Amino acid sequence: MTVLAAGDLILLIDKVGRRYRVRLSPGEQFSMHAGAVAHDDLIGRPEGVVVATQRGSRLLAVRPTFAEQVTGRRRQAQPIYPKDLGAILVGADVFPGARVLEAGTGTGALTIALVRAVGPSGVVVSYELREEFLELARRAVVDTLGAVPPNLALKQGDVYAGVEERDMDRVLLDLSEPWQAVSTVRAALRAGGIVFAHCPNVSQVQRFFDCLREVRGFGLLEAYEVLQRGWTVRGRSMRPSHRMVAHTGFLCFARRLAEDDVFEPEGEGFR
């Protein structure tokens, strides 16, 4: 749907790039320091329209992208940053039709990315310890996808204590002590499957990898981080942005082996 409709969540972006989240509702008005715009002047117009406040300030009206929804949402847990979300989906090879286990759900940012990646033929089961976080994540899913899709199960539970799922293609962890989930992962992940953990600190990476090696049955351990640097490309100004997100987390991956073995090639390999 390219035309803006009542009930749509949109962003109004001003000339300095400030973004205002607005839920369109007939008869309502959006007011800011630079004037006001009636929602009725937006409803029925095409997405991407530029409207003016009654004081002449121009505002671009677009629906937020998934990344803008993740960073724009008020939240209690720390979501995975959009720059990492894409890298995680490719690094963990989350494919259409995959059966995926996730913990913890947090804000639901990664959960929604996973649902989009596995498509209607896949399955996502997401565990969250805290009931109130699970409820907020459920609302974020509804906000983004319109409803909780039938192939997404949001479960309250402690993933460190074990899960009932088996033969999962992928397991993705974003919690403070991923090494405590290794037994759970070992039982839930099929041979050849991929486990991923998001670790803000390198001490977590070390402990997680040590644990994978100790329990055996995992190989091809690798960790990397994603640095994204924006550029200004305007007129004669062609330069890197003054600011960037310096650090988010290390992305850690390993594959489940068919036997209780260890397989770690010595070189850095070619990917």
Q: Which residues bind ligand SAM (CB under 6 A)?
A: 77-80, 103-104, 106-110, 127-130, 133, 158-160, 174-175
Residue with Cβ nearer ligand SAM (10 or 159): 159
Compute the least distance from the CB of residue 151 to ligand SAM, in Å.
Answer: 19
Residue with Cβ nearer ligand SAM (8 or 128): 128
Residue with Cβ nearer ligand SAM (109 or 171): 109
Residue with Cβ nearer ligand SAM (53 or 184): 184
**DSSP strand E in the chain: where?**
9-13, 19-23, 29-32, 35-38, 49-52, 58-62, 99-103, 123-128, 152-156, 168-173, 189-199, 218-224, 231-234, 237-240, 250-256, 262-263
Compute the least distance from the CB of residue 29 to ligand SAM, in Å.
Answer: 33
| One-letter identity of residue 56 | G
Compute the least distance from the CB of residue 225 to ligand SAM, in Å.
Answer: 16
**Closest by Cα among 84, 99, 95, 117 to 197:** 84
Compute the least distance from the CB of residue 87 to ligand SAM, in Å.
Answer: 13
Residue with Cβ nearer ligand SAM (66 or 231): 66
Distance CA 257, CA 115 (A): 26
- Work out the widest C-alpha separation in the chain, in whole angstroms: 70
Compute the least distance from the CB of residue 104 to ligand SAM, in Å.
Answer: 2
**Closest by Cα among 271, 97, 77, 79 to 170:** 97
**Closest by Cα among 63, 65, 69, 68 to 3:** 63
CA–centroid distance for 210 within its chain = 26
Compute the least distance from the CB of residue 78 to ligand SAM, in Å.
Answer: 5
Residue with Cβ nearer ligand SAM (24 or 211): 211
Compute the least distance from the CB of residue 166 to ligand SAM, in Å.
Answer: 18
239 three-state secondary structure: strand
Contacts of 94 (CB under 8 A, 6+ apart): 88, 100, 114, 117, 118, 170, 172
Residue with Cβ nearer ligand SAM (8 or 84): 84
166 three-state secondary structure: coil
